Structure 1
Amino acid sequence: MTKIVTRSFGVDVNKEEELKDTVKDLILRVEYKPPIVYFYIFKSLSSMRSYAVSEELKYGVSTWGLSEDFYAFHDAWTGAPRILYAAEALEILGEKAGLGCLRHEVGHAVLHGEIEYYIITQPLNSKILPETFYIITVAIKDLEVSNLLFKKGFIEDQLAFFKSIVYKEISSQRAIWPIVRENHKLAQIHLASLLKDLAFIFPFKACYEFQEEIEKVVSENLSHLPREVKTSLVDLVSEIATLKLATLEKIREATRLFERKILFSII
């Protein structure tokens, strides 16, 4: 049985218990149960992000900055899986999407709760930027979490969470593409970010009930790209999804595929 150690930062006791029950419910459904999970609940996004920055300094890591718009974080810097979650996400995203966000983080705690998943070294012969490599590692881990949640029947909340993220970013993506497409470095980071979006939602496309809705959101998310670029990204995530490898090997292979099919062929 997993021990869930909760720390609350200004959150109502009843809300704390509700969120803890959500964490517990998912852990009970999965085959592998980590011995312990640290669950830190913050009242606001600002307080969570301030804490995340202090942890960045404490552990000498630099991944938080790429995630400044996230509503939750996961890590294993304490030696065990840890989730940081802002209860304010339930108000900003809505109840369904907010809980979808939390379950996504619990999935990471279950699948990626060891330190090795946070100190992944970029292959020496890799030609992509470190920022791009980091985004690809996130994409692969998100894909694995979505596979887990799909198998456990959590589909509507994950789709709601995905839509809330995509629709928040669409207008800015359309605005910046004319600029970033002329810059090799910015273009690869942008396309890696879109690959991450596709990896997150890909497993849920297997649910016939939501296929049409998912295709619509994905199409809107990629609408600013030329047709050949869109096709290459969709084909790439489809190929990555078929890889039968351990997480770290999957990341390395996905990096090679991104270089060959996106970096050298399109950008």
Structure 2
Amino acid sequence: MTTPRLEVSIHGDVPPIWRANVEETLSACYRRLPCPGLVLVQVCLLDTVARLRDFLAAEQTALGIISPVGVEFLATHDAWHGVPRITACAERLNSVPADVAEGALCHEAGHTILHGSAEHYRFRLSRETVERGAKRGLDAHALQQVLYYVAIAVKDYEVARLLAAHGYAEGQAALARHQMVIDENDRRAWELASAYSVVRLICLTAQLKLLLFVQPLAEHVPALAGEAQAMLSFLPIAERERLWRVTGEIGAALGDDSKRNIGAALELVLDRL
């Protein structure tokens, strides 16, 4: 089985041992996962969070990217230049347990396999979808926000499904658990959002990223389902149950075509959430 070539670029004082570990983790992942047609993956390694932030902001400005750049994530993927790319920061990944860091790198490798072309970052909203959004009070900007959260949630589901099917469920579960953080800010944000229907919908849709990520993993690590539901404790019971139900409906509707999956999930969010 052929594996993609890793083209590594270094920004700042990246530790050589850390670089070698990243390359080995990614190479091992590509050896295990089916990746037909994936010839090249760019790997951008940076030393500090500050440098990462500046690097991504400059890329966003130069390319006219309007979606968030993902500085808050442990690692990221994109295809802004037409080639799948993974971006990782030594300071950030060294701040978490080894299994979480490995899970994050394998997760991004999964994205390069499933979402490795620029086409996966473009989505044209149909007139019907725009009209459906308008009925929910969503203007163009708000609908784009909902679309963004739906798209990243669906893509994470697809990656989790792929990785779990090839022996990476435990590592992805470690990554999911790392993301299950609730604090008082969540409760305050919900209190503010719940008074406005549009903000409420955006707030609930943002929760789908973790909830859909967990779905395929819970088949292999059953405790994750309960842990994910507990993460929603800042929501009123009725909202929590609705969100969990819609998450299940979305998961049941997802097939193998990412764009169709995003469209189907967006319709369910606009109709049911």
- What TM-score comes out, normalization by structure 1 length? 0.91
**Which residue is equivalent to 1:161?**
175
**Which residue is equivalent to 1:146?**
160
**Which residue is equivalent to 2:119?**
116
C-alpha contact 1:123 1:252 (8 A) present in aligned 2 = no
The match for 1:136 among 150, 171, 178 is: 150
Instruction: Please say if 1:259 is aligned against 2:273.
Output: no
Distance 1:92 1:64, change over 3 A: same
- Tell me the distance in 2 between the aligned counterparts of 1:204 and 1:138: 17
The one-letter code of the counterpart of 1:58 is A
Give how far 1:70 is off.
1.5
Q: Which residues in structure 2 correspond to 1:173-188 (within 5 Å)?
A: 173-188=186-201
Give how far 1:166 is off.
1.9
The one-letter code of the counterpart of 2:119 is E
Q: Which residues in structure 2 correspond to 1:1-267 (within 5 Å)?
A: 1=2, 2-9=4-11, 10-33=13-36, 34-65=38-69, 67-126=70-129, 127=133, 128=138, 129-167=143-181, 169-207=182-220, 210-212=221-223, 214-243=224-253, 244-262=255-273
Structure 2 stretches lacking a partner, 5+ long: none
C-alpha contact 1:93 1:161 (8 A) present in aligned 2 = no
Deviation by residue 1:87-129 (Cα, 9 ceiling, x = unmatched): 2233322211111111111110111001110111233332052
Distance 1:219 1:241, change over 3 A: closer
The one-letter code of the counterpart of 2:58 is S
C-alpha contact 1:52 1:64 (8 A) present in aligned 2 = no
The one-letter code of the counterpart of 2:188 is A
Give how far 1:252 is off.
0.6
- Tell me the distance in 2 between the aligned counterparts of 1:86 and 1:123: 37
User: Secondary structure of 1:52's partner?
Assistant: helix
Structure 1 stretches lacking a partner, 5+ long: 263-267
Deviation by residue 1:123-182 (Cα, 9 ceiling, x = unmatched): 333205211111101111000000011111112221221122221x44321221111100
C-alpha contact 2:56 2:71 (8 A) present in aligned 1 = no
C-alpha contact 1:53 1:64 (8 A) present in aligned 2 = no
Q: CA RMSD in A?
A: 1.6
The one-letter code of the counterpart of 1:44 is T
- Tell me the distance in 2 between the aligned counterparts of 1:7 and 1:245: 32
Give how far 1:245 is off.
4.8
Give aligned pairs, total: 257
User: Secondary structure of 1:28's partner?
Assistant: helix
Deviation by residue 1:47-92 (Cα, 9 ceiling, x = unmatched): 1121111110111112235x33112221111111001111223332
